[in-house]
Amino acid sequence: MTTSRPFAQVDVFSEAPYLGNPVAVILDGAGLTDDEMRHIARWTNLSETTFVLPTTDPGADYRLRIFTPGGELPFAGHPTLGSAHAWLEQGGTPKNTGRVVQECGAGLIEVRIDEGRLAFAAPPTLRSGPLEPELLARIVSAYGISADQVTAHQWIDNGPGWAVVQLASAQEVLDLDPDLSLLPEAMVGAVGAYPPGAPHAFELRSFAPAIGVDEDPVCGSMNASTAQWMHRTGTAPGPSWRVSQGTRLGRAGDITVTVDDSGAVWVGGATTTLFSGTALA
């Protein structure tokens, strides 16, 4: 039986409307089957569609399931912020003032509310360490670059399966025109620094053909685990920096990364509801 459910489509990581990354949020996903959620996510054809559900953990405010056109993710960054924004806007009341706790496949994720802006605490990485030579060679080939352009590389998997290579400059990242047919199973990105004094410290791009998304316009989860790697290795530019993403797609993603006194990495940005109403599901 089809039910009318509250719905919001939220633009995440951009102050300017329609220049961030949209997420479709079904604010009452109770009763939907896994197949129905997958079907809806394929239809919206966004990088992620989320479903807000009653929590099973007493420490959480709600439970979230996150689907791409190709399947379910245990965690994703921009859907976390967009869903928290929509839940609060609909009248959700956090158990603890100033923070929302989301239950998802990756566990409990804390979302901090600071003067109307949201930031999530980066979850721990499930896999780290340098990429295997065979995989690195395939990435280099798919990116159409030479091996000596890669200044560093790392597994940065916090759930989706991310790996990343670092290039010498933001411009080299922007110049990439990858052949993703050479990496059909990949969840991989590239990051490069802007010159000192630029508004953003890095340009980042995320490619996810493994889940049906060739290039994610603005990716919170990859920004989170890339920031953890840079902080851990001492290559971060300081306790707080900004990352640009989506430039090649005509977007203006603006991500703020902050490392607090405990060493926790927080990833935040603007969230704006651009469509709201009901979904039949």
**Token output for 54:** 């009653």
Kindly list the catalytic residues. Answer: 48
Any alpha helices (H) in the chain, and if so which ranges?
Answer: 34-44, 77-89, 133-143, 170-174, 220-233
Nearest in space to 161 (alpha carbons), one of 200, 205, 211, 204: 211
Residues in the chain: 281
**CA distances to 94, 98, 106, 182 from 87, in Å:** 10, 14, 19, 39
How many whole angstroms separate alpha carbon 24 and alpha carbon 76?
Answer: 13
How many whole angstroms separate alpha carbon 260 and alpha carbon 258?
Answer: 6
Q: Tell me how many degrees the CA angle 142-267-169 measures, rounded to the nearest 5.
A: 40
